[in-house]
Structure 1
Amino acid sequence: MDWDKLRIFHAVADAGSLTHAGDSLHLSQSAVSRQIRGLEESLNTTLFHRHARGLILTEQGELLFDATRSMAKRLDTATARIRDSEEEVFGELRVTTAVGFGTLWLAPRLPKLYDKYPDLKIDLMLEERVLDLPMREADVAVRMKEPSQADLIRKRLMSIRMRCYASSGYLAKMGRPERLEELSSHRLICQAPSAPQVSAGASLINRLLANDVHSNLTVNNYFGVLQGVIHDLGIGVLPDYLIEDFPNLERVFPDIESVEVPVFLAFPEELRHSKRVAAFRDFVQEEIISHRRNLRELRERTPDDN
Structure 2
Amino acid sequence: MNLDNIQLFILVYKAKSFASVAKELNVAPSSVSRAIAGLEEQLQARLFQRTTRTLTPTQLGENYFHRVEALIDELELARDEVFNQNSEPFGKVKVTASTSFGQKVLSPILNGFFDRYPKVRLDLVLSDTQVNVIDDRFDLAIRHGALRDSSMVAKKLIDVNYVLVASPNYLARSAKIEKPRDILAHRLISFAYSSFNTEWNFKKDELLETIPIEPILTMTTASAIQKSVESDTGIALLPDWAVKDELRTKKLISILPSWKVAGKDFDASIWLVYPSRRFLPVKTRAFIDYLLNNVKVV
CA spacing shift, 1:106–1:203, aligned 2, 3 Å: farther
Tell me what 2:125 maps to: 125
Deviation of 1:250 after TM superposition, in Å, equals 2.8
Answering whether residue 213 of structure 2 is matched by residue 210 of structure 1, we say: yes
Q: Is the Cα–Cα contact under 8 Å of residues 22 and 32 in structure 1 kept in the other structure?
A: no
* Secondary structure in structure 1 of the residue aligned to 2:195: helix
CA spacing shift, 1:162–1:26, aligned 2, 3 Å: same
Number of residue pairs aligned between Structure 1 and Structure 2: 269
Question: What is the distance in 2 between the residues matched to 1:251 and 1:231?
Answer: 16
- 1:171-227 Cα deviation digits (max 9, x unpaired): 234353234554454332233x3xxx4x4334436976736x6xx343331101112
Q: Is the Cα–Cα contact under 8 Å of residues 102 and 126 in structure 1 kept in the other structure?
A: yes
CA spacing shift, 1:55–1:119, aligned 2, 3 Å: closer
Question: Where in structure 1 are there 5+ consecutive unaligned residues?
Answer: 41-46, 295-306
CA spacing shift, 1:86–1:143, aligned 2, 3 Å: same
Answering whether residue 196 of structure 2 is matched by residue 188 of structure 1, we say: no
Residue 282 of structure 2 is aligned with which of 263, 275, 298?
A: 275
For structure 1, which segment, 130-139 or 219-228, has the greater mean C-alpha deviation from structure 2 after superposition?
Answer: 130-139
Q: Which amino acid aligns with 1:277?
A: T
CA spacing shift, 1:244–1:89, aligned 2, 3 Å: farther
Q: Which amino acid aligns with 2:149?
A: S
Tell me what 1:11 maps to: 9
Within-5 A mapping of 1:198-237: 199-204=194-199, 210=213, 216-237=216-237
CA RMSD of aligned residues (A): 4.0
Q: Is the Cα–Cα contact under 8 Å of residues 10 and 65 in structure 1 kept in the other structure?
A: no
* Secondary structure in structure 2 of the residue aligned to 1:264: strand
Q: TM-score, normalised by structure 2?
A: 0.69
Q: Which amino acid aligns with 1:167?
A: S
- 1:241-298 Cα deviation digits (max 9, x unpaired): 335333233332435422122322122234844222222212222235x43xx3xxxx
- 1:125-144 Cα deviation digits (max 9, x unpaired): 11122233334532111101
Question: Where in structure 2 are there 5+ consecutive unaligned residues?
Answer: 19-27, 202-209
CA spacing shift, 1:32–1:224, aligned 2, 3 Å: closer
For structure 1, which segment, 234-243 or 181-190, has the greater mean C-alpha deviation from structure 2 after superposition?
Answer: 181-190
Tell me what 2:32 maps to: 24
Q: Which amino acid aligns with 2:113?
A: L
Q: Which amino acid aligns with 1:201?
A: F
CA spacing shift, 1:256–1:268, aligned 2, 3 Å: closer
* Secondary structure in structure 2 of the residue aligned to 1:245: helix
Answering whether residue 253 of structure 2 is matched by residue 250 of structure 1, we say: yes
Question: What is the distance in 1 between the residues matched to 2:108 and 2:35?
Answer: 45
Q: Is the Cα–Cα contact under 8 Å of residues 6 and 68 in structure 1 kept in the other structure?
A: no
* Secondary structure in structure 2 of the residue aligned to 1:177: coil
Answering whether residue 270 of structure 2 is matched by residue 263 of structure 1, we say: yes
- Percent of pairs identical after alignment? 22
Q: Is the Cα–Cα contact under 8 Å of residues 162 and 200 in structure 1 kept in the other structure?
A: no
Deviation of 1:9 after TM superposition, in Å, equals 11
Question: What is the distance in 1 between the residues matched to 2:150 and 2:5?
Answer: 30
* Secondary structure in structure 1 of the residue aligned to 2:164: strand
Q: Is the Cα–Cα contact under 8 Å of residues 153 and 273 in structure 2 kept in the other structure?
A: yes
Question: What is the distance in 2 between the residues matched to 1:231 and 1:103?
Answer: 20
Tell me what 1:148 maps to: 149
Structure with the higher helix share, 1 or 2: 1
Question: What is the distance in 2 between the residues matched to 1:9 and 1:262?
Answer: 37
Q: TM-score, normalised by structure 1?
A: 0.68
